[in-house]
Amino acid sequence: MSSSPSSRLVPHGEPVTYFRFSGLAALGLPHVVTTRNFPGVTAASPASGPFDASAATQLRAAGLDPGRVAYAKQVHGAGVLRAPAGGGWAGNGDVLVTTQRSVPLAIFTADCLAVTLWDAIAHVLVVAHVGWRGTVRGAAGAAVRAAVEAGARADQLDAAIAPSIGPCCYEVDEPVLREFGTAFGRAARAWFMPGREGHAMLDLWAANEALLAEAGVDPARIENPRLCTACHLDLLYSYRKGHRGRLVTAAALP
């Protein structure tokens, strides 16, 4: 399900420091989708958390406990990690899952998709980092399977896709086209639009919406504002545009 950013993202702060998804917020999920105005995001490692004191203040105000944030070294794959019960470093992987209340799961992006999956009945939360490599390697399906294995039902999941690079700006070359063809066959054609010779424009939003639906998520329960990072450089970070900063999508079971 796609819609305009204004109907799906609720801004907080002036200037805007983070968004919330309107659907997830209405259902009661504490979460944030940060902008480049959000302070204090650092390089995550096993020895140090990903946020400094200023970021921690913002997270507390949003209803998230910065002392229990779970995070990982994202490796552009489909590996699933169970978040530690008290939060903290989870290891190397791109899909985090928890059934623990008040443990925020955090994903860091600057063009890639951050996908949130929540079963409010089964009390299962999953977040995933999905770029083109993760898409090819099955991260969307792995995220849904992780939720189901933790007790969720795929058709009960509410899903949201954070701001990320759109088909308007995401040009890829022949090696990427070949990878998609190998992984998905003719179905992948629907996710590309013509570009300059030897290139095409990739719609990672459409690809992952389709893959989530294929894994059992109700398309009507997928929130996707289709807000392109590369088109909104005043507000968002884009790796393709040379930014080194990262946006954060964090959510915790209430």
Rounded CA gap, 58 and 177, in Å?
40
Q: Are 15 and 36 in contact (CB under 8 A)?
A: no
Higher pLDDT, 236 or 45: 236
Tell me, yes or no, whether 98 lies in a domain.
Answer: yes
Give a yes or no: residue 43 inside a domain.
Answer: yes
Give the domain extent around 51: 5-165+222-251
pLDDT, position 50: 87
Residue 208 in any domain: the answer is no
C-alpha to C-alpha distance for 61 and 100, rounded to whole angstroms: 20
pLDDT tens sequence across 170-213: 999 999 999 999 999 999 999 999 989 989 999 999 999 999 99
Rg (CA), the chain: 17
Q: Quote the mean pLDDT of the chain.
A: 94
Residue 127 and residue 24 in contact, taking contact as beta carbons nearer than 8 Å: no
CATH number of the domain residue 140 falls in: 3.60.140.10
Q: List the beta bridge partners of residue 109.
A: 247
Count structural domains, the chain. Answer: 1
Q: Does some domain include residue 149?
A: yes
Work out the pLDDT band at 248, boundaries 50, 70, 90. Answer: very high
Q: What angle do CA 188, 194, 197 make, to 5 degrees?
A: 115
Confirm if 156 and 122 have CB atoms less than 8 A apart: yes
Within-domain flag for 196: no
Contact 140, 115 (CB under 8 A): yes
At 46 the pLDDT is: 59
In a domain, 90, yes or no: yes
Q: Say if 150 falls within a structural domain.
A: yes
- Is 133 part of a structural domain of the chain? yes
Q: What is the side-by-side order of every strand in the sheet holding 88-92?
A: 9-12, 18-21, 31-34, 247-251, 105-109, 70-73, 88-92
Q: What is the pTM of this model?
A: 0.95
Mean pLDDT throughout 38-49?
72
Confidence band, pLDDT 50/70/90 cuts, at residue 45: low
Residue 43 banded pLDDT, cuts 50, 70, 90: low
